Structures are given as C-alpha cells and as structure tokens.
Amino acid sequence: MLFWVIAAILTLGASLAVLLPLAGGTKGSSAAGDHDLEVYRDQLTELDRDMARGLIQPAEAEEARAEIGRRILRLGSASQTGAAAPRPSRAARLVATAAVLAVPLVSWGLYGELGSPDLPSQPLAERLAKSPADSSVDELVARAEAHLAANPSDGKGWDVLAPVYLRLQRYTDAVTAYRNAIRLDGDSAVRQAGLGEAIANAAGGIVSAEAQDAFEAALKLDPANAKANFYLAMGLAQEGKKAEAAAAWQKMLGQLPPDSPWRSAVQQALAETTGPAVAAGTPANGPDAQALEAAQQMSPQDRQAMIETMVAGLDDRLKQNPRDEEGWMRLIRSYVVLGKADQARDALGRAVAVFGADSEQAKKFTAFAASLGVTATE
C-alpha cells in the first residue's frame, strides 16, 4: 500500500514538473543577439590584453578588431529582421496536453508490465532476523552457515547441518560438513556412514573407494550400521558382484530389527539384483535418499519409468557436456541394466567418438562395455 502512495506522489511531482512551466507565465528573456554582443565585446577587450602581452602583433590585432567589428555590424542588421513573436498555436496546446497525460499513462502502463509491486524488499539481515518458525529451510541453512562462518570450530553445528545438506542434495557441502564434524567432534558410525553417503551421492550414486572407506570406518565403530552395510552391498552390486551383494543384503535382512526402515529398501534392492530380466540394480543417476525411498514405495512399472527418466536425463546431460568419462560409463551400464543393449551400444559408440577412437578413454570404455557384455558393432 505504501508503495502505491509513494508511486502516486512521484507521479504527481513529475506531472507538476511538466504542468507548472506550461501554466506559468514566462519572464522576458534576452534575444540571442545580446549574448553574441557580449562575447564580441569580451573578444575585443581580450584582444587588447593579448596585444599588451605580445600574444598578437599590432597589425594583426587591427585586422582582428576589424573582423570582430564586422560581426557586430552583421549582428545589428540580423536582430532587426528576425523578431517575430509567435503566438501559442492550437497544435502546441495539443502537444502540451498530450505530454501532461503521457507522464502518468506511460509510467503506470510500463510499470504495470515490468514491475512486481507486491514484492517487498528483502534485505538479508531482515530475513535472517525473522523467527525460525517463519523461515524457509534455505533461510535456516543460511543462518546456520552464517553461524558456522563465525564459529567454524563448532562441531555440533556441522553435525546438525550435514544431514540437512544431504537432504537438500548439496552433496559437496554435505561432504565438507561431515568431515568437519568428524574432525571436531570425533568419529561416530552415523557420521562416517553419512559421509560415505554424501560422497557416493556427490559422485552420482557411485560407491567409490573413498565412500567405501567411510562406510568401512562406520562399520568398525558399529558393525550393525544399516546404512553402511546397505551401501557397501550396493557397491558390490555396482562392481558386478551381484551374488556377493545379494548375500550381504540377505545377511542384513536377518539382522535388521523388524521395524527398521531399511528393511524394505534392502528387500527392494535384493529383488532387483536377484530378480529376473528387468532388474534395475543401480539407479542410474544416484538418486538421493528421498528419491530412493520414493522409488522403493512405487509400483514396479512406476519405478521402471522413473529410472528410465533418470537415465534419459543423464543421456541429455552427456550430450551437452560430453567430456564426462564416468558419466559415459554410468550411462552404458544403466542401459545394460535396463536391458537396452542397442542403446548401450549406441552410447558406447558416442562415448568413443567424443574422446577419439585411439584415446585411452575409448579403450577403457570398450573394455568396460565388454565386461558388461556389450561390444561395439562397428
């Protein structure tokens, strides 16, 4: 509301700036000739000064004086001819009215198109000072970040923030936060497992050696840590050791309490690994925990659709940014897992083309694909 009042006042002021001179009388003013005369007179006195200082020779000064004199004479004759005082015409009044109207019309019209009048200013300090209940997750995170920037050695703060990052899919930040928490507050199975999960997700779902280390560290502290066990098995599955993965998951099923949230995840994974034909072992693009959970609650058809969407997304990304070695390998494997051998072969072909047939990467791709049972056709 305040904004509209200000806008109205501004518009009024601007309109007045146009209106007042139009309505007001005009004072008498000098003709251009008077200005010129003043200048010529000054030129003459300056000529004298210059001559006194030797900047111009007397003969030339005489000439210059004559030149200026002639100009003054010309001025006199000109000013007598062009002194017609025109009256305000109707056209002029029309133009003036249009101008006065144009100011509010143009400004309100254009602002209506461009502006966001309902959006208040949101200075950061004000947003952070709001009560936590009204804040969005982003704002809470920002507040925590500001706190940690000031007190970087607050291990508890990092510990709280890390899983939040994980949920927000800010995996690299999650990795840093977990590392800081471990450095400051010491090892714990939960933190190590979280770190592993963050590393794996940052790498797009691949349980890398680094992630494995973290999970193993977690198991050392708590052999029954479900997350670590689950992901380690997933790593096995990703390496193609499906039997071992299945065994690990089977073992988990035996140990997990009946109400554990992991139970269903393990069962799903198990079903997919050992299941017939269309088994989706690894979600291609490493969905975060939420997406995983969602996938686990879906019907098999929906899950398949979701996985295929993710694979298509990966494929698209590689088209935009083809120099992504791991991405290509993930894509090839995903197609194999989905049972789309043609597309896997196609992906292999494209990957090789990007890096060049003789490149080291190409050899790696070919070998990798061969291990999955895919061979280049050409």
State yes or no: residue 107 binds other proteins (CB under 8 A). Answer: yes
State yes or no: residue 167 binds other proteins (CB under 8 A). Answer: no
Q: Cβ(342)–Cβ(336) under 8 Å? A: no
Q: How far is the CB of 121 from other proteins (least distance, A)?
A: 5
Instruction: Looking at residues 189 to 208 of the shown chain, list those that interact with other proteins (rule: CB under 8 A).
Output: none
State yes or no: residue 91 binds other proteins (CB under 8 A). Answer: yes
Among positions 97, 111, 156, 243, the unique one binding other proteins when judged by CB under 8 A = 111
Q: How far is the CB of 332 from other proteins (least distance, A)?
A: 21
Closer CB to other proteins, 77 or 301, in the complex: 77
Closer CB to other proteins, 69 or 223, in the complex: 69
Rounded CA separation 236/242 (Å): 7
State yes or no: residue 179 binds other proteins (CB under 8 A). Answer: no
DSSP state of 338: T
The stretch near other proteins (CB under 8 A) out of 37-45, 208-216, 266-274, 326-334 is 37-45
Could you tell me which of 301, 239, 303, 238 has the C-alpha nearest to residue 265?
A: 303
The stretch near other proteins (CB under 8 A) out of 29-37, 212-220, 268-276, 306-314 is 29-37
State yes or no: residue 41 binds other proteins (CB under 8 A). Answer: yes
Instruction: Looking at residues 294 to 353 of the shown chain, list those that interact with other proteins (rule: CB under 8 A).
Output: 319-323
Closer CB to other proteins, 142 or 219, in the complex: 142
Could you tell me which of 161, 138, 164, 136 has the C-alpha nearest to residue 148?
A: 161
159 CB contacts (<8 Å, ≥6 apart)?
177, 181, 185, 191
State yes or no: residue 88 binds other proteins (CB under 8 A). Answer: yes
Q: How many CB atoms lie under 10 A from the CB of residue 247?
A: 14
Strand, coil or helix: 24: coil
The stretch near other proteins (CB under 8 A) out of 64-72, 181-189, 215-223, 285-293 is 64-72
State yes or no: residue 92 binds other proteins (CB under 8 A). Answer: yes
CA angle centred on 319, ends 314 and 323, rounded to 5°: 90
Instruction: Looking at residues 348 to 377 of the shown chain, list those that interact with other proteins (rule: CB under 8 A).
Output: 356
Q: How many CB atoms lie under 10 A from the CB of residue 251?
A: 13
Q: Cβ(368)–Cβ(355) under 8 Å? A: no
107 CB contacts (<8 Å, ≥6 apart)?
11, 14
Instruction: Looking at residues 265 to 294 of the shown chain, list those that interact with other proteins (rule: CB under 8 A).
Output: none
Closer CB to other proteins, 43 or 296, in the complex: 43
State yes or no: residue 129 binds other proteins (CB under 8 A). Answer: no
217 CB contacts (<8 Å, ≥6 apart)?
187, 192
Backbone phi, psi, residue 282, to 5°: -105, 125
State yes or no: residue 55 binds other proteins (CB under 8 A). Answer: yes
Structure tokens at 335: 């197609």
State yes or no: residue 57 binds other proteins (CB under 8 A). Answer: yes
Q: How far is the CB of 160 from other proteins (least distance, A)?
A: 17
